[in-house]
Amino acid sequence: MAHFQTGEVHTALFPDGGVPKADVPALLIAARHDPICHRILTDNVRQYFEEFERRMIDTGRWTRPEDPEGANTLLIDWLTRHF
């Protein structure tokens, strides 16, 4: 299986450099203490959406199992504001 860097995929899919943005609101609930996916790894996600919100939750890798009430609160708040 081939391994591609993000930049290579963008260049292959969008040779003019412009990446189209989704026009639907998006929410990313990220774990503040995730040992695998550090916050900086999700910084570039906002480039794909017209309206993007990243909320941090004080958990390890598994936000919903580790803090179901906190994750649900963020999700319900976001859904209420957008839909």
| Per-position pLDDT tens, the chain of length 83 | 455 565 677 777 778 877 789 999 999 999 999 888 887 888 888 888 999 999 999 999 999 999 999 999 999 999 999 99
At residue 26, the pLDDT reads 96
| pTM for the structure as a whole | 0.73
CB 54 within 8 A of CB 26: no
According to DSSP, the β-strands at 52-57 and 26-31 are: parallel
